[in-house]
Amino acid sequence: MKNNNYNQEVVWLLNEKYGGQLTPEAEKDIARLKRGEPVDYVIGHKKFCGCQIDLRYKPLIPREETEHWVKQAIAEMAKGRPRGGSPRAALDMFAGSGCCGIAVLKNAPNSHCDFVDVDDNCLKQIRLNLKINNINKNRYRVIKSNIFEKLSKSDFDSKKYDVILANPPYIGLAEKKKVQKSVLSFEPKQALFAKQKGLYFIAKFLSEAKNYLTPEGFIYLEFGYNQKKEIEKLLKKFGYSDYQFEKDQFGKWRFVKICIKK
């Protein structure tokens, strides 16, 4: 199976980046694949909800599971709400490559998005991806913040959001041995792992997120396949009562949609 995957990746690389030609540069990239580097990094970009997501600064590679729920969030944003046609405000928390928020901006024309991450490489990556996808500068802000820290400052022009998208680090430190070797070796560990059995950032996020939602707003939060019970405990602890857990396209519990019950 491993050889089949490798052969498929070589074909994909050649077709995607080199027009099917085995050039000297292609041979160098094939050597990177042999060393275990993820094919998306070697190609240098990935498609996500119809957007081109550049990966040159090595953010977390966008996953199909994430794309699955982001499409659902975009469809939810498209539904009519009593807002008088005002721009829909989104927040991409733990933004990484910016793929979630950029998908919103690309697919929901009447929208604005704030991107939040604490990592400088990710902030550079987000700005580049916004440029690549031709997003007007008036439609977004890129904010360096440790979760809501900057947004809560009195000197910051904060606001409330119609949708908050969150894909935090959620793999427990004890789960490292179960993670694919190429992921461990090449993807940013700070975007993957969290203390407290993977719940550290999720708990910090949920403790504040409802303060940043409009009355009819909602949150989409991604989590690990084995964390549903613990997430539900956190939701109850922080006073959320209107939520719905959903599975990804592979049949695993993967995200929860949260509303503010009035």
Q: Dump pLDDT digits (tens) for 120-179.
A: 999 999 999 999 999 999 999 999 999 999 999 988 888 899 999 999 999 999 999 899
Question: What residue spans of 44-111 are helical by DSSP H?
Answer: 64-78, 99-107
pLDDT of 1 > 60? The answer is: no
Assign 66 to helix, strand or coil.
helix
Query: Would you give the distance in Å from CA 95 to the centre of its chain?
Result: 6
Would you tell me how many other CB atoms lie within 10 Å of the CB of residue 215?
A: 11
The tens digit of pLDDT for each residue in 68-127 reads: 999 999 999 887 554 445 678 999 999 999 999 999 999 998 899 999 999 999 999 999
Domain ranges of the chain: 1-43, 57-259
**6: pLDDT confidence band, cut at 50, 70 and 90?**
confident
Please tell me the pTM assigned to this model: 0.93
Architecture of domain 57-259: 3-Layer(aba) Sandwich (3.40)
Question: Which helix (H) or strand (E) covers residue 243, if one does?
Answer: strand 242-247
